Structure formats: structure tokens, C-alpha cells
Amino acid sequence: MKIGIDKIGFAFPEFVLDLADLAAARNVDPNKFKVGLLQSEMAIAPVTQDIVTLGAQAAASILTEEDKQAIDMVIVGTESSVDQSKAAAVVIHSLLGIQPFARSIEMKEACYGATAGLSLAKTHIAQNPDSKVLVIASDIAKYGIASGGEPTQGAGAVAMLVTADPSILVLNSDNVCQTRDIYDFWRPNDDKYPRVDGKYSTEQYTDCLTTTFDYYKKKTGKDLEDFAAMCLHIPFPKQGLKGLRAIAANEDTLTRLTDRFYEAIIYNQVIGNIYTGSIFLSFLSLLENSQALTAGDEILFYSYGSGAVCEIFSGSLVEGYQASLQEKRMADLNQRTKVSVEEYEKIFFEEIVLDEAGNSIDLNSDESPYALEKVVEFKRIYHS
């Protein structure tokens, strides 16, 4: 049975910060971000937008009423969860009006969580071919004002509908994983922002890739030459490019895959890191911006979650996949409201003020299709 991605949608918050402005405010050469990280803008979410609202919005952009009746599993991969116990998937299930007899869960392993979700979805469809699984990768990446990771922040969600006989990508069964117990990026329960050993994390990203790819080649007999493009986890685009260069032994292959790589980072460059969703945003960017792909092309994926777990897997493009995509995504991204560095510091780092009973005080109203309306007795109440 062919199983894979039938639909893919993306949601981003309304505000954007130009990294040239951030560079000026931090007294850094703007080329450090633009050339050194290959990053030009980052998406800024207000306090009323979180992984639930962005995830719901991404899913709503692709689902029909028929899909909502067929979905019997909702998986949210995230590392910026809003509750230590209740899964964001439960709230999203409700906001979207998905039929009640469904399993809704949240999966965590840093930026890798949603990739594990995709594998679980595939296994579920293999056993239940008529059902559909909604996999959402939703994150708000915040490192803090003037922190080392500040230019690599971002916010957004990617939603994927996994089905039998998909319209976009058939997932192959060649997955290879690696687990390493390391502290390159982590967030203790009481910390607002992640702790990160920046340089070490970049080394681990690449070392996990090269060693896992060696294992992948041995196990599958495939090599980079077999693929039309490669999508990697993109904490910032330069990291992905370094990863690609680290495993490409052949110059012609590297040149060809680098051309695809630049098409695959167009959205990431103006959104920033969205942790679990970054690899899938890169896939969407590739699909919507490359003229070089055709049905049957094989795409290679490298998912990396600090801590660390990584996975290499692949998929095959389906005939007519272009019909499931959007043409004006970049125009929509260009419509975002540009904020100054002062506004970014206020908007992105605003915190909800609660009274002693856990009720929010003076929370701004947000007219977005999905938004946090209030907190009542420590319960987050959303509108849709």
C-alpha cells in the first residue's frame, strides 16, 4: 500500500522582523545573519498566538469536512508546548471540529517530534487504510533578547494529512535513526528559554548526519545520486547547507542538490527556525518554488532533534502533486506587518499576567481566525 502526505499547509503569525534591523540594534555586521546564517527575516508571534492557534490555522487551511470525518488520529510535534500534561492535539481536535472517535497526542523530542509523528501516522494508516491522520509540527522558537540564538528565532506551524494513496509524497520504508544522549540544546522544566551549547549543537547536527547517512547507505544501497533533492532540518539555512556539503562526495551531485537546496530554504529564510516544522517547511518551499522536479523524483530527508535523535528517510513525488500546492505563498508572506526591534522585544516577549485565581488580566484581543482569548482559572480558552 502507498502511504504518505496527501496535503500540506502552513501558518505563520502576522508580524515580521528584518534581521538587518536586529543586526543594527545588536551592533553586529548585517552580513553575519544574511550571509553567515543565510537568514534574512524572522516571524514574530504575539502572546495570543501559540502552538495551538498556529497548528489549528495550518490544519484548517487544508482540511475539508470530509477529512474531518475521516481523521481518527491527531499528532502534534512540538518543543514549545503550552501545557506539561494536556496535549495541544486535544485542543486542536476540538477547534477544528474533528469527529470525536480519534486519538489525540503530543510528541516531544526537540525538533524531531513531528518526524516521529509522521512514522506513527504511516503505521496507523497501514493498519487502517480508510482513515486519515493529521500530523502538525508547531513551534515558537525563542532564545531571549540579545542571546546567542536570537537571530535564529521564529514561529509557525506545518500541518500534513497522511493517507493511503496520497496526492503529494509516498513515504518509502527506508528510515534509519540514531539516538545520542547529549546536551546540545535542552529546556529544563522551569526555564522559559532553552539552554544551548551553540557551537557543540552545530557540530552534533553534522556528525549525526554524516554517521547516520553512512548507515543509511549501507542499509539501503542508496546514495545521494539517487535523489532529486534533499530537505534537512533548518535551524538556520547555513546549517543545512553545511550538512549537505558534509555528505556530498561528488561535485556534480553537490551542485545539483545545492540548486534544489536554495529553493528549499526560501520560506525558512523569512520565517526563522520553527523547530519541529522546519524540515517540512523546507519541503513545502522546495515543492512550491522548484521548476526542476517531476513526478517520481525521490526526495531525501534529514530530521534532527537536539538531545539528540535524528532520522533519515525518503519519499517519492506523486503524479500531479503540483495541484495540491499554493502559488501565492510568498506574496502572503510579504503582506506581514513589519515591526521594529523595540516592537519585537515587546510583542515576542510579552507574558500573560494572571491574578491569584489564574485569570488573565488585560489580555489583548486578537481577531485572527484562531487566537487565545483569555485564561480562566489557569485554563487557556481559545476562539475559532
Active site residues: 79, 111, 233
Q: 2, 99, 126, 148: which one contacts ligand CAA (CB under 6 A)?
A: 148
Instruction: Of 314, 17, 355, give the one whose Cα is nearest residue 154.
Output: 17
Which residue sits closest to ligand CAA, CB atoms considered? 36
Spatial separation of the C-alpha atoms in residues 300 and 185, rounded to whole Å: 25
Q: 213, 216, 227, 304: which one contacts ligand CAA (CB under 6 A)?
A: 304
Q: 20, 26, 36, 345: which one contacts ligand CAA (CB under 6 A)?
A: 36
**313 lines the binding site for ligand CAA (CB under 6 A):** no
Contact 79, 304 (CB under 8 A): no
Nearer to ligand CAA, 12 or 236 (CB): 236
Instruction: Of 233, 240, 279, give the one whose Cα is nearest residue 258.
Output: 240
3-state class percentages of the chain: helix first, strand second, coil last, to nearest 5: 40, 25, 35
Q: 38, 111, 114, 270: which one contacts ligand CAA (CB under 6 A)?
A: 111
Nearer to ligand CAA, 30 or 369 (CB): 30
Is 193 annotated in some ligand binding site? no
**187 lines the binding site for ligand CAA (CB under 6 A):** no
Contact 142, 193 (CB under 8 A): yes
Is 29 annotated in some ligand binding site? yes
Contact 276, 138 (CB under 8 A): yes
Instruction: Of 73, 281, 263, give the one whose Cα is nearest residue 157.
Output: 281
From 19-27, 171-179, 229-237, 284-292, give the range in contact with ligand CAA by CB under 6 A. Answer: 229-237
Interaction pattern, residues 315-354, with ligand CAA; x per rule: CB under 6 A: ----------------------------------------
Q: 199, 219, 328, 338: which one contacts ligand CAA (CB under 6 A)?
A: 199
**48 lines the binding site for ligand CAA (CB under 6 A):** no
Q: Which helix (H) or strand (E) holds 382?
A: strand 379-383
Contact 230, 312 (CB under 8 A): no
**196 lines the binding site for ligand CAA (CB under 6 A):** yes
Is 273 annotated in some ligand binding site? yes
From 53-61, 193-201, 244-252, 372-380, give the range in contact with ligand CAA by CB under 6 A. Answer: 193-201
Nearer to ligand CAA, 62 or 254 (CB): 254
Q: Which helix (H) or strand (E) holds 139?
A: strand 132-141
**314 lines the binding site for ligand CAA (CB under 6 A):** no
Contact 176, 165 (CB under 8 A): no
Q: 57, 239, 282, 285: which one contacts ligand CAA (CB under 6 A)?
A: 239
Spatial separation of the C-alpha atoms in residues 3 and 122, rounded to whole Å: 6
Q: Which residues contact 308 (CB under 8 A, 6 or more apart)?
A: 110, 178, 179, 180, 182, 184, 204, 208
Which positions lie near ligand CAA, rule CB under 6 A? Answer: 29, 31-32, 35-37, 111, 148-149, 152, 184-185, 196, 198-199, 201-202, 205, 233, 235-236, 238-239, 273, 275, 304, 306
